[in-house]
Amino acid sequence: MPDLSTLVLFCTATLALLLVPGPAVLYIVTRSVAQGRSAGLVSVLGVHAGSVVHVAAATLGISALLAASATAFTVVKYVGVAYLLWLGLRKLVRRDASTAEEGPVELPVQSRRRLFWEGFVVNVLNPKTAIFFLAFLPPFADPSRGPVGPQILVLGLLWMALGMASDGTYALASAALADRLRRSGRARRRLDVGSGLVYLGLAAWLTTEKA
């Protein structure tokens, strides 16, 4: 079991990453804006049903990776750094039509079952979540404190709990601000810039961590 200081640091770093909008958050916000609070919360449940797949894969695979090869871990870590850098730079330089327009955006209505399963698929295929579990989570597991697998499982479940809280907040807030979010391209651009800076900061932090 990770110690308290490790858990506090993990929670802080996890929240910083979770609050940056990735594919799952953008899906949740989109559905909340289009269909309201309940649709957003159903989407959150679907997204984190998908998180179970990542937690299971990490618990089985990362422990084996750490046990097998420090070199393999280092390679995976720098793949994660490169991906975070790419995400950050893309957010900072992106100026597409959706952030430039100020007109309203209309989205189709979907059933709750479809919302759930789309959220599931979005997060199972979410590269941000996959990179988190492959490259960002392992430094918090300490082999000197016991088997790595159970530590990864605890950290993964903690990540899910924090993710449901942060994504639920996004769903509620975006449903409440639906009209403004539909119309404000400027607000979307500011969100991109803030997201880009957080990604770059996390990439810099990850380069200092050791297996």
DSSP label at 99?
A: H
Alpha helix segments (H runs only) across 125-147: 127-131
DSSP label at 139?
A: G
CA 87 – CA 130 distance, rounded (Å): 14
DSSP label at 20?
A: S
**Kindly report the CA angle at 85 between 9 and 195, in degrees rounded to 5?**
70
Q: Which residues span the domain enclosing 13? A: 4-207
Give the model confidence (pLDDT) of 69-126 as tens digits: 666 666 666 766 776 677 678 767 866 544 444 444 455 567 888 889 888 987 887 7
CA 180 – CA 37 distance, rounded (Å): 15
- The domain tally of the chain equals 1
Six-digit token string for 71: 């070199």
User: Tens-digit pLDDT profile for the chain (211 aa)?
Assistant: 667 788 888 888 888 878 877 778 877 887 887 788 898 899 999 999 999 988 888 888 765 565 556 666 666 667 667 766 776 787 678 665 444 444 444 555 678 888 898 889 878 877 677 777 777 777 787 777 777 778 888 888 999 999 999 999 999 988 887 766 555 556 556 656 665 666 677 667 667 655 4
Closest CA to 195 of 15, 19, 9, 10: 19
CA 124 – CA 40 distance, rounded (Å): 18
